[in-house]
Amino acid sequence: MSDKKPLLEVRELKVHFDIRGERAWPRSRPAVLKAVDGISFTLFEGETLAVVGESGCGKSTLARAVIGLVQASAGEVVWLGQDLTRLDHKAFREKRKEIQMIFQDPLASLNPRMTIGDIIAEPLRTFYPQMPKAEVKDKVRDMMMKVGLLPNVINRYPHEFSGGQCQRIGIARALILKPRLVVCDEPVSALDVSVQAQVINLLKELQREMRLSLIFIAHDLSVVKHISDRVLVMYLGHAVELGEGKALFERPTHPYTQALMSAVPVPDPDYERNKQIQILHGDLPSPINPPSGCVFRTRCPLADEGCAETRPVLEGCAPHQVACLKVKVDSEG
């Protein structure tokens, strides 16, 4: 994909939050929570980039910063050559037609007082207020069919549907404007396993049909394996490894990635009985007071004194890069 022009470029993106305790003095400096601390990646048309890591590593904050729901503290989010972080509200609002989001909790993300027809149609009415009602209704019915919902339920309310059906409603709402990028924030984590497979297959089918690019946030690596073209591994707000999905699952390089991949179940009883799971000892450090140097060093089996002095950055030949002082990616990635 190196010969293609990136659709999205995220450059050294940081999202920091000021945290002030209840008993803090009025003029005391607040603590800084570094939720995202210098993430960079590119995304191409029709590609799926999965972002994985433990809970609390900054995945969802990164997603919300890309789409503008959280303000970036520093860095750039370049969409088709234009930095979205520098746009005013009106200019950014126009760009939002091309970038949409699917949320984690399918029921909580839908307005319980609106029918699903009104929920799906709301983006059209927001961005195209002059569109005739008949045309809006036709577009809504057509999108409902695309996501596997019968048009005759258009006047029902979200509580009348299952979790999987509610997520299909959320997908229809996100796609009604025909965006080019959809950010999926753990869209199947609240669903049963069988329903997860249906929703993943639906997203892949819609991606092919509508030429969508996806940023897929997840913690279930077995799901990521089936949908991702590339995988970005995050730890405590930092990128520790970035590479093509298949290669990353077969040959993880960073110790943290190796630990994550070792926990992925494989449908082979003999392999499962004999494989060694790499257990991470200790808890995830606080993003308010992260370790010096490499943020993973407090849990890393390879760490030494030098890891406390230098903070590694992603290095290696594209598309496989790793941020570690102890391991390197070979020239073949």
Q: State pLDDT tens for residues 72-106.
A: 999 999 999 899 999 888 888 888 889 999 998 88
Q: In the predicted model, what is the mean pLDDT of the chain? A: 89
Percentage of residues in the chain having pLDDT higher than 70 = 93
pLDDT (0 to 100) of residue 333: 42
Q: Using one digit for the tens of pLDDT, what is the confidence trace for 1-43?
A: 556 788 999 999 999 998 876 555 666 677 889 999 999 999 9
Q: How does residue 183 score in pLDDT terms, banded at 50, 70 and 90?
A: very high
Q: Report yes or no on 161 lying in a domain.
A: no
pLDDT (0 to 100) of residue 243: 93
Q: Report yes or no on 326 lying in a domain.
A: yes
- Tell me whether residue 118 is exposed, middle or buried, using C-beta atoms within 10 angstroms of its C-beta: 0 to 12, 13 to 18, 19 or more: middle
H/E stretch holding 15 reads strand 8-19
Domain assignment of residue 293, given as a range: 229-333
Q: Report yes or no on 316 lying in a domain.
A: yes
Q: Report yes or no on 174 lying in a domain.
A: no
Q: Could you tell me if 233 and 241 are in contact, meaning their C-beta atoms sit under 8 angstroms apart?
A: yes
Quote the CA–CA distance of 223 and 264 in Å, as a whole number: 10
Number of domains in the chain: 1
Indicate whether 304 pLDDT > 60.
Answer: yes
Q: At what angle do helices 133-146 and 163-175 cross, to 10 degrees?
A: 130
Q: How does residue 179 score in pLDDT terms, banded at 50, 70 and 90?
A: very high
Quote the CA–CA distance of 249 and 262 in Å, as a whole number: 9
Q: Report yes or no on 260 lying in a domain.
A: yes
Q: Which residues, other chains included, contact 115 with Cβ-Cβ below 8 Å and sequence gap of 6+?
A: 154, 155, 156, 157
Quote the CA–CA distance of 260 and 234 in Å, as a whole number: 11
- Tell me whether residue 114 is exposed, middle or buried, using C-beta atoms within 10 angstroms of its C-beta: 0 to 12, 13 to 18, 19 or more: middle
135 residue type, one letter: E
pTM of the model: 0.90
Q: Report yes or no on 80 lying in a domain.
A: no
Q: Report yes or no on 321 lying in a domain.
A: yes
Q: Report yes or no on 325 lying in a domain.
A: yes
Quote the CA–CA distance of 313 and 311 in Å, as a whole number: 7
